[in-house]
Structure 1
Amino acid sequence: MADTGAGGAAGPAAGKAPVAQRIDPARDKLSPAQLHFMRQAELAQWQKTLPQRRGRNILTGLGIGALVLAIYGYTFYSVAQERFLDDLEDQAKAARMKTAGTNSP
């Protein structure tokens, strides 16, 4: 006879393992051992995804930092290009010279 796997059962249910059930810890009463196992499973899952999450966080931080520096640099560049106050000052100086020249005897 051939070995049919776990339990020696043959038929449609032969290769099926029990499926984990979702539980609500607030609603279902769990033993301390079950709560401890849940914490261990959550920690293992968190540690498994930590390097990927860390890489994404670093990439996001660098992107935001680059955007902030670009805005900061553009602001300085655009303020340095503004000459309208200088033009107004030149016009005011010319107007003062003109009025001072007409008021002189």
Structure 2
Amino acid sequence: MADKKADSPFATRVDPIKEGLSHEQLHFIRQVELAQWKKKTSQLRTRNVVTGLAIGALVLGIYGYTFYSVSQERIMDELDEEAKRARTQGPKTGAN
């Protein structure tokens, strides 16, 4: 691996306001910043889409489960009514 010095001008920060930069250097800085911004924007967009799909799937899952639960409650109510009818219509033995 190449040995890099800490004082190398490769990774130093430049403040365009304080430094006396030429028009070409400022233009190059803007181009690099724009390229970095576009790269980060596409990554964020991908993450946002994945997060949105996950939240949408969760909402649809809860919605579907709610409908399923309500339909099961109706079935249980119908079974309870049938059992009640069977008890009232059944043979009456024993002391009342």
- TM-score normalised by structure 1 residue count: 0.46
Which one has more relative contact order, counting CA pairs under 8 Å at least 6 apart?
A: 2
Greater gyration radius: 1
